[in-house]
A and B are shown apart, each in its own frame.
Chain A
Amino acid sequence: MAGQLPRRIIKETQRLLADPVPGISANPDESNARYFHVMIAGPDDSPFAGGVFKLELFLPEEYPMAAPKVRFMTKIYHPNIDKLGRICLDILKDKWSPALQIRTVLLSIQALLSAPNPEDPLATDVAEQWKTNEAEAIKTAKQWTLSYARQ
């Protein structure tokens, strides 16, 4: 049998819906309350401005003792996000803490869009471009945003 949905997940969901983070929406799937459809608006100060990026977020059975699983569904040109949408972010891996939550995870991802870090890459080719020719990299990121992340 399926376990009851933990109170923490119910509370987090209610608070996310009642008091959403600016620029971010997260809605639980109708058939699976552990699966969230997420939209993050590209931050104004970034090459992703004007784009809206779709992500999926899943709360594993061990949550909050294990991190949510988050992935970009929208193609994005970013040194810390690979072509499968996987995100290189410490709090989603070994720096997870159960005091973090969906809200803080999504805020961190939003911040990652504002601050690409080519020194800790996941997409090595993108990171290389970011390091050797940042202007060109930003131009590509803007083009991808226009092509794939338009509302």
Chain B
Amino acid sequence: MNSITPNRQQSINAAIDKECPVCHCEMVLPTAIPACGHKFCFICLKGVSIAALGGCPICRGPIDAGIFEKPSQSLNLKMVLTDSGAPSTSNATDRDVKQEPVDEDVKPDVNALNAAMNMPAPSKMYWLYHGRQQGWWRFDPRTEKDIEEAFVSQMPITEVTICGQSYIIDFAKMSQYPKTQRGSTRHVKRVDSDEFDRMNIKGMAGVYAAT
């Protein structure tokens, strides 16, 4: 069995790491290429592998396809992202911003506090997709956020990119299919925290939750 993550990280937030060189967002399900150790989001690396772009994006070393077979990670299945997903400004501009004193009377934003601690807000909804054989997977939290935003704004469908492929989420049918190939449809589901706990979710974005 291939180990797809370095063993050093065992915290509950192990599945969240610094910026991924492929999506330029906070890394989700950080996955190291065994040969060279360079790390990416699991679904970004899988997308690179599917696109056959000639190995590791950083050093062009080989990517062992074995890391995509039954991958598992120690992960908090209900994790939330610490970055809002909103684009951040560059370091250069951050440095130029004058530090303001922050002693104003600010009401704490519970959602923001929860997010800061990687704890889901009580009202958080989760998006799941059905496995090819059986059982349900959670979408990766960033894709989930896009889906939820489209759902809340009452769009009939939305388009998401997963592993470099475009998929359509159809909210009327609660299904997902590849944009270019309607045949391969999966069911999707929107659940609250309690239902999530009852469902024995397999893992996230194709990565099994290690027990």
Chain A residues at the B interface, C-beta cutoff of 8 Å: 1-4, 6-8, 10-12, 14-15, 18-19, 61-62, 64-66, 94-99, 101
- CB pair A14–B54 under 8 Å, yes or no, is no
In angstroms, how far is the closest chain B Cβ from the Cβ of A84? Answer: 26
In angstroms, how far is the closest chain B Cβ from the Cβ of A2? Answer: 8
Whose C-beta in chain A lies nearest to the C-beta of B159? A3
Q: Contact partner of B166 among A3, A11, A99, CB < 8 A? A: A3
Knowing A1-B159, A14-B89, A97-B60 are in contact, say whether A8-B54 is a contact too (CB < 8 A): no
Whose C-beta in chain B lies nearest to the C-beta of A67? B53
Interface size on B, residues (CB 8 A): 31
Bound state CA distance, A61 and B164, in angstroms? 9
- CB pair A97–B24 under 8 Å, yes or no, is no
Chain A residues whose CB sits within 8 angstroms of the CB of B174 once the complex forms: none
- CB pair A18–B92 under 8 Å, yes or no, is yes
In angstroms, how far is the closest chain B Cβ from the Cβ of A140? Answer: 36
Whose C-beta in chain B lies nearest to the C-beta of A101? B24
Chain B residues at the A interface, C-beta cutoff of 8 Å: 21-25, 44, 47-48, 51, 53-54, 57-58, 60, 85, 87-93, 142, 146, 157-161, 164, 166
Chain B residues whose CB sits within 8 angstroms of the CB of A66 once the complex forms: 51
B interface SS class: loop
Bound state CA distance, A3 and B155, in angstroms? 12
- CB pair A7–B87 under 8 Å, yes or no, is yes
In angstroms, how far is the closest chain A Cβ from the Cβ of B139? Answer: 15
Chain A residues whose CB sits within 8 angstroms of the CB of B22 once the complex forms: 8, 64, 98-99
Chain A residues whose CB sits within 8 angstroms of the CB of B158 once the complex forms: 1, 4
Query: For B22, B48, B53, which residue has the most chain A Cβ atoms within 10 angstroms?
Result: B53
Chain B residues whose CB sits within 8 angstroms of the CB of A19 once the complex forms: 90-93
Knowing A98-B22, A99-B21, A99-B22 are in contact, say whether A62-B89 is a contact too (CB < 8 A): no
Knowing A11-B87, A14-B87, A98-B48 are in contact, say whether A3-B161 is a contact too (CB < 8 A): yes
Bound state CA distance, A65 and B23, in angstroms? 10
